[in-house]
Amino acid sequence: MSEALAKFMEKIKAKDPDQPEFHQAVYEVAESLMPFIEANPKYKKANILERMVEPERVIMFRVPWVDDKGEIHVNRAYRVQMNSAIGPYKGGMRFHRNVTLGTLKFLAFEQVFKNALTTLPMGGGKGGSDFDPIGKSEGEVMRFCQSLMMELYRHLGPNTDVPAGDIGVGAREIGFMFGAYKKIVNEWTGVFTGKGRNWGGSRIRPEATGFGVVYFAEEMLKTRGDSMEGKIVAISGFGNVAWGATRKSNDLGAKVVTLSGPDGYIYDPDGVKGEKIDFMLEMRASNRDKVQDYADKFGVQFFPGKRPWEVKADVYMPCAIQNELDINDAKNIVNNGGICVSEGANMPSTPEAVNLFIQNKLLYAPGKASNAGGVSVSGLEMTQNAMHIYWTSEEVDKQLQIIMKAIHEQCVEHGTKDGYTNYVNGSNIAGFIKVADSMIEQGPLS
Ligand code: 2IT
C-alpha cells in the first residue's frame, strides 16, 4: 500500500471507526484512484476524493410503528444523500436487520460511481432501516412504511432524491411508501422508481438488475471470443436479482445449477428453468427467506449452511449480499476452472477474493459495473414519468442493453493494461472522472 493511500485510509477509519463496510468500499476505490490522481494533479488540488467520501447529507430518524397485537416498536432509519453533482440523489432503500449507517454509507458511495457509469444523469444515495421484514405481516410492513414516510417525504422530490427498492424492499413496500408520499404532498410525481406498472412503473424494471448482470457477463466473455451459450452458471440468492439473472441466463442458452438463501444452497443439475424460475417468486413472497423449499418441491440436493461457490461452474454470479464470497470461495472458483464472475449484489466479494480473481486473470466485474442495470432502468422510469409516457418492454430492454454495453466499454477504456481488463480499476476511474469533473466545474462548494 502506498503511503498516500495508507494515510488517507487512516483518516477515514479514525473519523468513523465503526463502519468497516464503508472503509472496505472506500479502500477499493481509493486503491484504483491513487495512481490516477497522482498523474492528474487537478484532482489532488481540488481535494476531490476527500470531498467524495463525505456524504452531502445524512438524515437519521426514528420510525415508531404498531404491530398486529397493538404493541409499539421503534426502528432507526436513514437516508444517505451522498453526491448530487450529476443529478438528483438516486438509490434504493434496504430493510434488513443488519443495516447500520456504515452499511448505507458503503452502498451510497458505491451508488455514486455506479450511477455515473450508467450514462444517465443520476447522483448517488441510499437509505434504509434495521427493520426486519422476515415474519412480519402485510399490515405491519405497511404501517412501518407509512411511519417511515412521515419523516422521509420532506427530504425527497423528483428532482431532489428518488429512492427505489433493495434487499427487503420490493414493489409492495414501494407501493406503501409512494402512497404515503402522495397523500402527504398532494402531488403525483415520479419520486420512487420500481413502482407498479399501473402507476408509473417501467416495464423491465423488476428484471433489469439480473438481466444486466448477464448482459455484462456476455460482454466480458465476448472480449475472449466466447459467450453465455452452453455455460454452467452458479448463482447465489433467490431474490429479485437472482431471478432476473436466472431468466436471462436461460434465454442466452446457459444452465443455472445453484440458488442460495441464508439457510444454504440447492444444486439442480438439470438447471433452474421454466416453472422452477416462477417458484423463486413464490419463495420470495412467502417471506420465509429459505431456499430449502426449492429442494423439497423439486427433489434436488440441499446443502445446509453452505454457499454455492464450491460447485464447479463456468460463470459465477453472486446475487445475495455484501461479503458473501471470501478468499476460500474464490480459491474454489479458481481451482474449479471458473472463467467469469459477474456480481449482482453490491460488494459481494471480499477484497482478498477480488485480488485472487484479478491475479488469475478471470473476467471479474464488480457490482458497481455489472449490477448497474437496475438503477439504469430506474433512470429510464424517471424519464418516462417526466414525459408522462410509457415505453414498451422491447424499447426498455433495448436501452438497457445499450447502457450495459456502454458501461463495459468505459471499463475497458479505463481499466485495460497489457491486454487484461481490470474492471475494478476501469469502473472506479470512469465513474470518478465524470463526478469529479462535474464537482470541479461547479466550484469548491460542491
Ligand atoms: O443497488 C442498486 O443499484 C439498487 N438497489 C437500485 C437503485 C435504484 O435506484 O434503482
Q: What is the number of the ligand 1 atom nearest to the C-alpha of 205?
A: 10
- The residue whose CA is least distant from atom 10 of ligand 1 is 375
Mutate which of 378, 385, 403 for ligand 1? The one with the most ligand atoms within 8 Å of its CB, which is: 378
pLDDT at 80 over 90: yes
Q: Does some domain include residue 426?
A: no
Full-model pTM = 0.98
**Ligand 1 near 193 CB (within 6 A):** yes
Q: HSE of 217 in the Cβ direction (CA atoms, 13 Å)?
A: 33
**Residue type present at position 136:** K
CATH code, domain with 269: 3.40.50.720
The verdict on 355 and 314 lying in the same domain is yes
Compute the distance from residue 125 Cα to the ligand 1 centre, in Å: 9
pLDDT digit string (tens) for 305-321?
999 999 999 999 999 99
Q: How is residue 423 written as a grid cell?
A: 474492471
Residue written as grid cell 463502519: 19
**Residue type present at position 368:** K
User: How far is the C-alpha of 18 from the C-alpha of 359, rounded, in Å?
Assistant: 30
Phi/psi region, residue 110 (left: phi>0; alpha: psi -120 to 50; beta: rest), is: alpha
The verdict on 146 and 243 lying in the same domain is no
User: How far is the C-alpha of 264 from the C-alpha of 194, rounded, in Å?
Assistant: 29
Closest CA to 427 of 371, 388, 376, 383: 371
Residue-range definition of the domain harbouring residue 17: 3-52
The verdict on 216 and 288 lying in the same domain is yes
CATH code, domain with 184: 3.40.50.10860
pLDDT reported for residue 1: 78
- The residue whose CA is least distant from atom 4 of ligand 1 is 92
pLDDT digit string (tens) for 210-254?
999 999 999 999 999 999 999 999 999 999 999 999 999 999 999
Contact 358, 369 (CB under 8 A): no
Q: Does some domain include residue 250?
A: yes
Q: What is the number of the ligand 1 atom nearest to the C-alpha of 122?
A: 9
DSSP labels for 157-206?
A: BTTTEEEE-BTTB-HHHHHHHHHHHHHHHT------SS--GGGTPPTTHH
Residues catalogued as catalytic: 126
Rounded to the nearest 5 percent, the helix, strand and coil shares of the chain are 50, 15, 30
Phi/psi region, residue 16 (left: phi>0; alpha: psi -120 to 50; beta: rest), is: beta
pLDDT digit string (tens) for 105-157?
999 999 999 999 999 999 999 999 999 999 999 999 999 999 999 999 999 99
Q: How many domains does the chain have?
A: 3
Q: Does some domain include residue 331?
A: yes
CA distances from 45 to 104, 142, 225, 328 (A): 29, 49, 42, 41
Across the chain, mean pLDDT equals 98
Closest CA to 428 of 381, 365, 361, 384: 365
